[in-house]
Amino acid sequence: MKLVVALALSSAAAFQAPVGTSKPAALKGAPVDEFEVGVQPPAGFFDPLNYCETQPESFARRRAVERKHGRVAMMAMVGCLLHNADVEFPGYLSKSQNLKFSDIPNGLYGITKVPSAGLLQIAIFVGFIELFWWPASNYSGDYGCGFFGAKYEGEEKVKKLNAEMANGRLAMLGIAGAMLAEGQTGQTLQEQLLALNFNPFA
Look up residue 15 and give its DSSP letter. Answer: T
Q: Give dist(CA 129, CA 121) in Å, integer.
A: 12
> Residue 53, annotated ligand binder?
no
Q: What is the largest CA-CA distance in the chain?
A: 64
- The sign of the dihedral angle between the CA atoms of 162, 165, 171, 176 is negative
Q: Give dist(CA 101, CA 94) in Å, integer.
A: 8
Contact by Cβ (8 Å): 37, 165: yes
> Residue 67, annotated ligand binder?
no
Contact by Cβ (8 Å): 74, 171: yes
| Residue positions forming the annotated binding site | 66, 71
| Residue positions forming the annotated binding site for chlorophyll a | 66, 71
